[in-house]
Structure formats: structure tokens, C-alpha cells
Amino acid sequence: MDKGQYSLPSVILGRTSYGEADLVITFMTREQGKISGLAKHGRKSRKRFGNILSSLALVKLDFTVTPGRELVRLDRGDLIRNFDALAKDLNRLGLASYALELVSNLCAPLDPAPEVFDLLIWFLGRIDSGERPEEAVFIFQLRFLKLTGFGPNISACPLCGRSVDAEQALSMKQEHGGVVCRSCVSSGYPVSFGALKLMELAQTLKLDKVDRVRTSSRVLGEVGPFLRAYITYTIGRELKSVQFMEQLKKSSPTV
């Protein structure tokens, strides 16, 4: 980034205490991608930051870039849009945290990704509204992976080269990057041709039309376990937010 002062809409992805009062903040912007900055006295300065550094919200962050420094200097912040309902529902909070953790892990620093930023805002708004959250996660994962270059292959078996069709017995296998013929690989996550077409639709529809996508519990049951395994395989470890949601399920059958 060029030297100077910036004021950008942002979503805070994570925070780490630094010293007695400072915070290192990782945040996503539309124009500059993922950025890390130091908020001096960020744990105490209500005048400059209010409570936005610990909020799930769309915020405006003012910061200064100094050549030679790894971290930008965070100067102040203001709330643009709060996602209030997320803090009141542990399940939705877990889903939102999962999206933030995915972005933090798979987006490179200072790599502008406007479509990823817009997708993240769409997802947080959709989860905040409570409208079919599991469907929103399905859409978010597929679009995000495609946008970042990690999208699973859903068009043809990489082993025999045959394009998928409704007559085939198909599976999803993370080690092979996506769909495979069951005649080539007998193991994996069985998947229907219809589920693959829905995956493609979730990836390719324009963002302002993606709310039209409807997924059945059957499709979610087919694709969800594969996406979890595929993302874990891609990152190299299971995300903390996934572990958190697993604990929620164990402690409450209704979650």
C-alpha cells in the first residue's frame, strides 16, 4: 500500500491483545483486501473506537500506512452497520465466525478482493436476518472458494476425464479436488447430479440474485460433509469455529 491515510469500510476478522492495552486487528476491506493494524490503547479507547473492535459489524476504519512497517496504525473507527442478532444466537454467531475465519485463512494480505468483501457482507446480513442460515452457508462456501481459486471441481472426473452427467454414480473426494466417478474411486462422499448442478448455480448466479437458490435438506446433507472435509484438507487443519459449532451441537440437540 502507498504511504498515507486511508478511511475504508471494513469487517474485522480477528483481534489479538498486544501488551497491556494495545490490539492487533486483522480486517477485510473492499479496496485493499486483508490488512493488519495496531490499535494503540485499543482495549481502552472508547473515544476513538467505541466497541467496534470487538463487534461483528461493518465499520469505517481510519488508518495510516508508514513505509517499512508491517502493521498499519489504526487511528479511529465508526460503525456503519451492526449485525445485532448474531450476538443473541450462538448458532448464527458460530456461522458468522466461520465465515470470518475462512476469509482470514484463505485471503492473502493486501490483495484487493471486492467480490469477496461483497459476499461477506451479503452473508453476514443474511445470517443476521435468520433467513435459512444453513442454505446461506452452502452458498457462501461455494462462492468464496471459487472466488479465491480454491473451488472444488464439479464438472468432470480428473481421473478419466469424463464430464459429469445424470447417468453416472458420482462421489466427492477432497484428495482429488472434487467430483470423481465411482468407477474410478469407490470411496468418498456420494453426490447426486442434481446436487452438483445446485453447487454450480450457487457459484455462478450474480450476487443480487443468489437468494433465489433453494437447497433441500438432502442436498445439504450430501454436500455439507464434503465441504467441511475439503476445506479442512485445503487449509491443513480444522477451523476453531467448526470445533465451536460441534460443541454447540453436542451440548444442545436443537442447535
Question: Which tens digit of pLDDT belongs to each residue from 181-208?
Answer: 999 999 999 999 999 999 999 999 999 9
pLDDT digits (tens, 9 = 90+) for 127-150: 999 989 999 999 999 999 999 999
Identify how many contiguous H helices and E strands the chain contains and give both numbers.
7, 8
pLDDT mean over 154-169: 94
Greatest Cα pair distance in the chain = 64
Task: Identify the CATH number of the domain defined by range 85-251.
Answer: 1.20.1440.120
What's the CATH class of domain 4-82?
mainly beta
Q: How far apart are CA 42 and CA 22, in angstroms?
A: 5
Q: What is the pLDDT of residue 41?
A: 86
DSSP letter for 2, please: -
Q: Partners of 57 in the beta sheet?
A: 82
191: how many CB neighbours lie within 10 A of its CB? 24
Q: How far apart are CA 86 and CA 171, in angstroms?
A: 35
Place of cell 450474480: 206
Domain ranges (residues) in the chain: 4-82, 85-251
Q: What is the pLDDT of residue 255?
A: 45
pLDDT digits (tens, 9 = 90+) for 78-95: 999 999 899 899 999 999
Closest CA to 57 of 36, 31, 78: 78
Instruction: Indicate whether 42 pLDDT > 70.
Output: yes
Instruction: Indicate whether 253 pLDDT > 60.
Output: no
